[in-house]
């Protein structure tokens, strides 16, 4: 079984690449972030023609998450229980579903903007709500994983230059402590480091030739419980999909399971 996560940075802009990648990669379940469309605009029919069902939580221009599956899609939950909301509104940042023998969450963690900003406090509150929401499944016997764009680099090796992020979000002790608390609920990072290269980044800014210069970050993560981690046979970042015209600024992260 092949499961992946990918921040596509607009499913409308990326649809031809997404459909081609699904066909060529043999992915069974894809957790998708930053759909940037309303649910009624999501390309459900185009995906159904490839054999994928869609569970979508999206409201418009920003955010938006989905789970795409060709192995079944049941018990869909839209939104994060206990979501603290931002400026009086709950944003579409989480959706969960059971896909065959595995249950997954697709999450798009708030960016945080800058340290001290209200959005940074919201990010930490949202991560605590996520930890609480997944604790039961994380401790369970069924393979379970939380996949997505966490907007946090877990360690200094997960950014191209730690000094370049001094006093910035994505690398602060509080954000990393929130990730550690999530792992303590019974989850672990199932994508090993290093992979086939020294720095398996998943995101490169469009600006300043960041991708050709490999000035990236590893912020797209797959956190699985014990049964999920035990089933992992391979994992990789599909860096090739970041190349070329019309690419997302994120690359897919792929995990192969024996379940």
Q: Using one digit for the tens of pLDDT, what is the confidence trace for 29-49?
A: 999 999 999 999 999 999 999
Asked if residue 250 belongs to a known ligand binding site, the reply is yes
The single residue of 108, 120, 150, 223 carrying the catalytic annotation is 108
Q: Is 108 a catalytic residue?
A: yes
4 pLDDT tier (thresholds 50, 70, 90): very high
Q: Is 250 a catalytic residue?
A: yes
Q: How far is CA 6 from the centre of its chain?
A: 6
Return the structure tokens found at 45: 């029919």
pLDDT, tens digit (0-9, with 9 covering 90-100), for 201-240: 999 999 999 999 999 999 999 999 999 999 999 999 999 9
The single residue of 28, 149, 158, 220 carrying the catalytic annotation is 149
First to last CA, the chain: 7
Return the structure tokens found at 208: 């300043």
198 pLDDT tier (thresholds 50, 70, 90): low
What pLDDT score does 232 carry? 96
CATH number of 2-257: 3.60.10.10
What average pLDDT does range 55-70 have in this prediction? 94
For residues 11 and 18, the answer to whether their CB atoms sit within 8 Å is yes
Asked if residue 83 belongs to a known ligand binding site, the reply is no
Backbone φ and ψ of 60, nearest 5°: 160, -135
What pLDDT score does 199 carry? 62
Asked if residue 34 belongs to a known ligand binding site, the reply is yes
Closest CA to 230 of 137, 154, 145: 145
Return the structure tokens found at 230: 């035990």
Asked if residue 225 belongs to a known ligand binding site, the reply is no
**pTM of structure:** 0.96
């Amino acid at each position: 079984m092949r499961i992946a996560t990918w921040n596509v940075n607009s499913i409308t802009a990326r649809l031809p690449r997404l459909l081609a990648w699904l066909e060529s990669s043999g992915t069974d379940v894809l957790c998708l972030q930053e759909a940037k469309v309303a649910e009624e605009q999501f390309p459900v029919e185009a995906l159904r023609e490839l054999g994928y069902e869609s569970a979508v939580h999206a409201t418009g221009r920003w955010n938006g998450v989905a789970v795409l599956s060709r192995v079944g899609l049941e018990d869909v939950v839209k939104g994060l229980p206990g979501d603290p909301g931002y400026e009086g509104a709950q944003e579409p940042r989480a959706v969960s579903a059971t896909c065959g023998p595995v249950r997954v969450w697709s999450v798009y963690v708030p960016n945080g903007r800058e340290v001290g900003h209200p959005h940074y406090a919201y990010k930490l509150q949202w991560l605590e709500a996520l930890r609480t929401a997944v604790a039961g499944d994380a401790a369970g016997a069924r393979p379970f994983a939380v996949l997505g764009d966490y907007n946090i680099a877990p360690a200094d090796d997960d950014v191209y230059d730690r000094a370049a992020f001094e006093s910035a979000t994505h690398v602060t002790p509080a954000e990393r402590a929130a990730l550690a608390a999530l792992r303590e609920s019974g989850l672990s990072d199932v994508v090993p480091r290093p992979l086939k290269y020294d720095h398996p980044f998943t995101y490169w800014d469009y600006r300043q030739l960041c991708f050709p210069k490999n000035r990236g970050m590893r912020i797209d993560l797959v956190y699985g419980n014990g049964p999920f981690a035990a089933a992992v046979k391979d994992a990789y970042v599909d860096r090739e999909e970041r190349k070329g015209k019309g690419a997302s600024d994120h690359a897919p992260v792929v995990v192969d399971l024996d379940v």
